[in-house]
């Protein structure tokens, strides 16, 4: 029998001052800088359009790309599509795919234990964000090894910050063409800073809310729960009890009425040959 390891609390972990400073800048800029800029200079229809487009593009870069394609290998894609999702996932500013996927693989392998990066048993705030503010003593090469075999993941990791800068420059450049310097700043505040804040928190909700509240229709050996309302902001990732029970299924919401845009995108791309080998599981009762 595997011995039970007591959960490790945040107080026993060293603070990660780099991440603390980074998140402080993002949060203060989003909650203070964005409304102040809007008050003095205002935002145009283009700024809000860029925010919406970048939210969808980067969000799907995480859910379809980082999560279902790269971590769980729920379907296959040609190199060009792989690169696209590595770039748009990088724009989400959630770390490189190598780091993100290795942490998420460990989350599934060691769910609800001390080695789980966002262990829900340590409370809402730990699983939502404070796990990122402390150095993780369980982060090893073991979970990075499978992803190091993918040359495109290694490529993205090497050029990650250039990719991030590209994701900042594109909306700012479009804003500049529309309204000059003010347009560049307004687009940057909405489509980069505020969008980053919102996409980060929508992702964090999967780690926290979907392990605390919701139904456990498919399995109770883990804390994952199905919360349809979380799916509304996470492109279908809220059906988390199903996902933890059947992690390789390209779908999270298996019913036709489940709000799962990530599933719909993957399926739609398969019809034009941009995805293939879609993995479907058959839970009790069928889906």
- Whether residue 158 is contained in a domain is answered as yes
- Segment 31-88, tens digit of pLDDT: 999 999 999 999 999 999 999 999 999 999 999 999 999 999 999 999 999 999 999 9
DSSP string covering the chain: -PPPPPPPPGGGS-B-HHHHHHHHHHHHIIIIIHHHHHHHH---HHHHHHHHHHHHHHHHIIIIIIIIIIIT--SB--HHHHHHHHHHHHHTTS--HHHHHHHHHHHHHTTTSTT-TT-GGG-HHHHHTGGGGB--TT--GGGTHHHHT-HHHHHHHHTHHHHHHHHHHHHHHHHHHHHHHHHHHHHIIIIIIIHHHHHHHHHHHHHHGGGTSSB-SS-SSS---B-HHHHHHHTTTTBHHHHHHSTT-S-SS-STTS--HHHHHHHHHHTTTSSB-------TT--
Residue 169 buriedness (CB in 10 A; 0-12 / 13-18 / 19+): middle
pLDDT value of residue 209: 96
Q: How much is the pTM?
A: 0.93
In a domain, 1, yes or no: no
Residue 234 lies in a domain: yes
Q: Is the pLDDT of residue 1 over 50?
A: no
- Comparing 6 with 202, the larger pLDDT belongs to 202
Q: Look at residue 284 and tell me if it is in a domain.
A: no
Query: 79-91 and 151-158 helices cross at what angle (nearest 10)?
Result: 30
* pLDDT digit string, tens, across residues 137-168: 999 899 999 999 999 999 999 999 999 999 99
pLDDT at 12: 65
Q: CA angle at residue 56 from 173 to 98, to 5 degrees? A: 90
Range of the domain at 231: 10-270
Mean pLDDT for the stretch of residues 239-243: 97
Looking at residue 10, what is its pLDDT? 42
Answer whether residue 2 shows pLDDT above 70. Answer: no
C-alpha to C-alpha distance for 90 and 54, rounded to whole angstroms: 12
Q: How many domains does the chain have?
A: 1
Tell me the CA distances in angstroms from 83 to 103, 154, 156, one per residue in order. 20, 11, 8
Q: What is the average pLDDT across 123-139?
A: 94
pLDDT at residue 282, rounded to an integer? 85
Q: Give the pLDDT band (50/70/90) at residue 124.
A: very high
Domain assignment present for residue 279? The answer is no
Confidence category of residue 287, pLDDT binned at 50, 70, 90: low
pLDDT beyond 50 at 7? no
Does 170 map to a domain? yes
> Does any domain span residue 276?
no
| Residue 3 clears pLDDT 50, i.e. is over it | no
């Amino acid at each position: 029998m595997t011995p039970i390891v007591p959960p490790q609390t945040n107080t026993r972990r060293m603070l990660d001052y780099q991440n603390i400073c980074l998140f402080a800048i993002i949060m203060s800029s989003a909650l203070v800088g964005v409304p102040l800029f809007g008050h003095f200079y205002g935002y145009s229809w283009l700024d809000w359009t860029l925010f919406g487009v970048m939210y969808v593009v980067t969000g799907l870069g995480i859910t379809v790309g980082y999560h279902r394609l790269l971590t769980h290998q729920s379907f296959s894609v040609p190199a060009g599509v792989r690169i696209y999702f590595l770039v748009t996932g990088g724009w989400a500013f959630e770390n490189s795919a190598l780091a993100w996927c290795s942490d998420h693989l460990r989350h599934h392998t060691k769910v609800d234990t001390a080695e789980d990066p966002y262990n829900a048993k340590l409370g809402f705030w730990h699983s939502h964000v404070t796990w990122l503010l402390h150095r993780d003593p369980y982060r090893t090469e073991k979970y990075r090894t499978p992803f190091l075999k993918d040359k495109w993941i290694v490529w993205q990791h090497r050029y990650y910050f250039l990719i991030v800068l590209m994701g900042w420059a594109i909306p700012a450049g479009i804003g500049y063409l529309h309204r000059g310097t003010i347009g560049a700043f307004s687009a940057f505040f909405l489509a980069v800073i505020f969008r980053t804040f919102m996409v980060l928190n929508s992702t964090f909700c999967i780690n926290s809310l979907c392990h605390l509240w919701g139904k456990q229709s498919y399995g109770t050996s883990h804390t994952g729960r199905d919360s349809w309302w979380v799916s509304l902001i996470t492109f279908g990732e809220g059906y988390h009890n199903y996902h933890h029970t059947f992690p390789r299924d390209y779908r999270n919401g298996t019913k036709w009425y489940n709000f799962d845009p990530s599933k719909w995108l993957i399926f739609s791309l398969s019809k034009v040959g941009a995805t293939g080998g879609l993995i479907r599981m058959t839970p009790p009762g069928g889906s």
